[in-house]
C-alpha cells in the first residue's frame, strides 16, 4: 500500500516515517515539508540515513501520486481544514493528526481554536480515531480525526467508567504532565534547552484546547453532559504523557472489582495494559511504544479513585495511533508495524 505523509519533518511526521519505514505492508510514496522542501529527508533528520532518503516536496494535493491511497496529515492545526476536502475529492482516505476534524460542533471549534472552521460540513463525517472505542467505525472511514495526545491518555483511562455511568463528573480533576516534544518542533524561547531543563510549569490553566475533545467523547460514552477540569504541565523530558485523574464514583466500589472491569474492557485491545493492583505506570515504561499503561489507585481517606495513565505522546498520542488506525482501515492486524517494545 502506498501512502503520503504531509508535514513529514515535524515530530509527529518524523515519528510516522519511523514507523511506516519499517511497516511491512506500506510504502511512503510522497513526503512533504514546507520548511525543508527540496531537501532529502535524511539530511534534515540524520537518524534516517540509509533508511529513508526521499526528497521532501512542497505541499500540493495535485502532486501527490495517484497510486497513494492513504494520506497522513501531520500539519499544524488549521492547515488540514482547508486541505482535506480536496484530498477526499481526489479519492484518498485521510488520517489527520491535527485537531481540525475532532470536534463535532463547529461552534466549539471556533471558540477553542479561535478561528472559523472552513469545512464545517465535514465535522459530522470524520471518525474520531480512538481504536479502543471506535474500532468498527474506523474500519470503514474515509476521514479519521486522530485524537490529541492528552485526550488519548485521559479517554483510555476513563472510558470503562464512563460507559458504565459510574463517574461523579463534577468531581473529576485531571492533572496532566507532558514532555516537551508535545509542544512541537518549532524552536520557542521557553522550550530552549537551558530554559526547559530543571523546570516544571503549568500552562493554559483552565483553558487547554484539548478539553472539549475529551468532554465530547466522555459525554457520548456516558450519555451525560460532561464538563471536566483539566490542567497540563510541562516537564523536563522529551517524550511522555502522564495523567493523574482524581474522581469520585457513584456508589461503592472495590479496587479488585474495578480492576477486573478494566481488564475486561481492554481484553481485546493489545495496546492498553491494565497494570496489576498496586502497580502504577511510568512514562519510561511506554517510551517509544504504542502502549497505554493504566493503574488504579485509591485515596481511601477522601473517597477518591486515582487513575494513572501513561503514553508516549508521539506514538500512542500521535503517530502510533495513526498507524493503528491505518491497520484497522485496511484490515491489517492491529499491531502490524507497532511491535516495537519500549526503549528505556
Task: Give, as ranges, the residues between 116 and 145 that touch a copy of itself (CB under 8 A).
Answer: none
Q: How far is the CB of 88 from a copy of itself (least distance, A)?
A: 31
- 243 is a catalytic site residue: no
* 46 in contact with a copy of itself (CB under 8 A): yes
Q: CB atoms < 10 A from the CB of 169, how many?
A: 20
- Select 76 or 270, whichever has its Cβ closest to a copy of itself: 270
Q: What is the smallest separation between the CB atom of 163 and a copy of itself, expressed in angstroms?
A: 22
From 149, 243, 292, 344, active-site residue:
149
- Binding to a copy of itself, residues 211-240 (CB under 8 A): 211, 227-229, 231, 233, 235-240
Residue that is written with C-alpha cell 519533518 in the block: 9
Region label for 164, one of left (φ > 0), alpha (ψ between -120 and 50) or beta (otherwise): alpha
Query: For residues 149-188, which are near a copy of itself according to CB under 8 A?
Result: 170, 173, 175, 177, 179-181, 185-188
How far, rounded to the nearest angstrom, does the alpha carbon of residue 231 sit from its chain's CA centroid?
A: 17
Cβ(249)–Cβ(161) below 8 Å? yes
Q: Which residue lies nearer to a copy of itself by CB, 89 or 300? A: 300
DSSP SS3 for 228: coil
Binds a copy of itself (CB under 8 A): choice among 13, 288, 317, 337: 288
Residue 114 found at the interface with a copy of itself (CB under 8 A): no
Least Å distance, CB 140 to a copy of itself, is 29
Q: How many CA atoms lie within 13 A of 54 on its CB side?
A: 18
Distance of CA 251 to the CA centre of its chain: 32
**Sole binder of a copy of itself in the list 30, 113, 242, 266 (CB under 8 A):** 242
Q: What are the distances in angstroms from CA 288 to CA 15, 106, 314?
A: 9, 34, 8
103: which strand partners? Answer: none
Instruction: Kindly state whether residue 262 participates in binding a copy of itself, applying the rule CB under 8 A.
Output: no
Among 38, 62, 193, 251, binds a copy of itself (CB under 8 A): 193
d(CA 312, CA 19): 14
Binders of a copy of itself: how many residues, by CB under 8 A? 88
Q: Does 302 bind a copy of itself (CB under 8 A)?
A: yes
Among 11, 41, 101, 113, binds a copy of itself (CB under 8 A): 11
Name the residue nearer to a copy of itself (CB basis): 210 or 304: 304
Cα–Cα distance between 240 and 180 in angstroms, integer? 9
- Residue 198 has which C-alpha cell? 530543571
Minimum CB distance to a copy of itself smaller for 139 or for 238: 238
Contact call for residue 13 and a copy of itself (CB under 8 A): no
* Residue 81 or 286 with smaller CB distance to a copy of itself: 286
* Minimum separation from the CB atom of position 141 to a copy of itself (A): 28
Residues with Cβ < 8 Å from 160, sequence gap 6 or more? 261, 262, 265, 266
Q: In what order do the strands lie in the sheet with 27-32?
A: 27-32, 2-6, 70-73, 93-96, 143-145, 127-128
Min separation Cβ 210 and a copy of itself, Å:
13
Selected from 38, 50, 114, 254, the binder of a copy of itself by CB under 8 A is 50
Does position 202 interact with a copy of itself (CB under 8 A)? The reply is yes
Nearest Cα residue to 303 out of 168, 163, 175: 168
Least separation in angstroms between CB 230 and a copy of itself: 8
281 binding a copy of itself? (CB under 8 A): yes
**In this structure, what DSSP letter does residue 183 have?**
G
Phi, psi of 224 (to 5 degrees): -120, 165
Residues classed as catalytic: 149
Amino acid at each position: 500500500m502506498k501512502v503520503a505523509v504531509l508535514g513529514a519533518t515535524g515530530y509527529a511526521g518524523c515519528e510516522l516515517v519511523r514507523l511506516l519505514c519499517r511497516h511491512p505492508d506500506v510504502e511512503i510514496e510522497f513526503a512533504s515539508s514546507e520548511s525543508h522542501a527540496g531537501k532529502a529527508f535524511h539530511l534534515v533528520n540524520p537518524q534516517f540515513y540509509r533508511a529513508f532518503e526521499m526528497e521532501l516536496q512542497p505541499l500540493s494535493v495535485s502532486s501527490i501520486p495517484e497510486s497513494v491511497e492513504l494520506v497522513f496529515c501531520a500539519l499544524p492545526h488549521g492547515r488540514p481544514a482547508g486541505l482535506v476536502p480536496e484530498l477526499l475529492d481526489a479519492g484518498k482516505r485521510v488520517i489527520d493528526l491535527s485537531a481540525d476534524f475532532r470536534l463535532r460542533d463547529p461552534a466549539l471549534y471556533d471558540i477553542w481554536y479561535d478561528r472559523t472552521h472552513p469545512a464545517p460540513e465535514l465535522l459530522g463525517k470524520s471518525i474520531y480515531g480512538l481504536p479502543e472505542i471506535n474500532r468498527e467505525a474506523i474500519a470503514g472511514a474515509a476521514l479519521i480525526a486522530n485524537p490529541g495526545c492528552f485526550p488519548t491518555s485521559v479517554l483510555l483511562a476513563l472510558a470503562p467508567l464512563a460507559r458504565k455511568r459510574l463517574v461523579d463528573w463534577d468531581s473529576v480533576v485531571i492533572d496532566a504532565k507532558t514532555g516537551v516534544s508535545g509542544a512541537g518542533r518549532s524552536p520557542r524561547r521557553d522550550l530552549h534547552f537551558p530554559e526547559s531543563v530543571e523546570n516544571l510549569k503549568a500552562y493554559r490553566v483552565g483553558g487547554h484546547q484539548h478539553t472539549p475533545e475529551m468532554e465530547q467523547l466522555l459525554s457520548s460514552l456516558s450519555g451525560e453532559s460532561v464538563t471536566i477540569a483539566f490542567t497540563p504541565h510541562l516537564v523536563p523530558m522529551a517524550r511522555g504523557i502522564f495523567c493523574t485523574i482524581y474522581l469520585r464514583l457513584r456508589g461503592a466500589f472495590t479496587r479488585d472489582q474495578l480492576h477486573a472491569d478494566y481488564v475486561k474492557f481492554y481484553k481485546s485491545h493489545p495496546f492498553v495494559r491494565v497494570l496489576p493492583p498496586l502497580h502504577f505506570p511510568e512514562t519510561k515504561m511506554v517510551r517509544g511504544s504504542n502502549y497505554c499503561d493504566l493503574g488504579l489507585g485509591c485515596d481511601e481517606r477522601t473517597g477518591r479513585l486515582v487513575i494513572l495513565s501513561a503514553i508516549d505522546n508521539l506514538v500512542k498520542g500521535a503517530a502510533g495511533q495513526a498507524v493503528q488506525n491505518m491497520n484497522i482501515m485496511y484490515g491489517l492486524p492491529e499491531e502490524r508495524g507497532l511491535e516495537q517494545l519500549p526503549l528505556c
